[in-house]
Amino acid sequence: VERVISEFFWWKGKSPCPRLHEWGRPLCEAGQLGLRPWADHPRNLAHNRQVRFFTMEGEKAPINKHYNLLSGKKEPQWECSSFFAIYAEDYWTKHYSMSMDAGLVQHMNNDQNIIDAAIETLETKFWFVGIQEEYQLSLEKFAYLLGKILNTHINVANASKSKSHKDAHIGQGKKDVSQSDRERIKSMNKADYAIYDYVREKLVQIPTSPG
């Protein structure tokens, strides 16, 4: 929920359509109407970004028909798992044989196959996965796996104060989000929550001190 809300407020008000390449014009225009119209838009690929990334579809995707927007060169279609709307929509609509306006985003949200693919990636390609919201705990578990004892407490709250003043509007905007909007966004990110819960369950099973 926080990741999706942060994406919205980070770009809110920067220009009439600040994320044209990443969001596409219809989603940009919905964003000008507010958080809820943006979140509910059928072309909103901000939902479940993490699970799409961990499917590793970007490694298997074909070469883009168009040049990469950043490099100006033809490259593997990594954008299918990332931000660029023109590539992401093209790849995933073909992958599912379903259009965005027909409910593709919601279909992915309820697709156990995409969750299973992401979990397989986490199991086979990562030795350890921590959680940002459980930063201290993640460090302690990581230290245990290395046969070490972590004697340092990381004050994440103080570390966050080092962010520049330009980020202040994000925090203020997030404070004003209603509980109903948060619940709505949570319901639209069930696939991301599934892998989050999976990682957290695996994390808590690791002891925190050797021996």
Q: What letter does residue 205 receive in the DSSP assignment?
A: T
What pLDDT does residue 165 have?
Answer: 46
Beta bridge partners of 76: 63
> Looking at 35-44, 66-75, 97-106, 201-210, which range is the least confident one?
66-75
pTM: predicted TM-score of the whole model, two decimal places: 0.79
Taking alpha carbons only, the member of 42, 209, 203 closest to residue 133 is 203
Q: Is residue 207 very low, low, confident or very high in pLDDT (cuts 50, 70, 90)? A: confident
pLDDT at 110 exceeding the cut of 50: yes
Residue 38 · residue 31 · CB < 8 Å: yes
Please give the Cα distance from 84 to 70 (Å, whole number).
Answer: 10
Q: Phi-psi region for residue 128, left (φ > 0), alpha (ψ -120 to 50) or beta?
A: beta
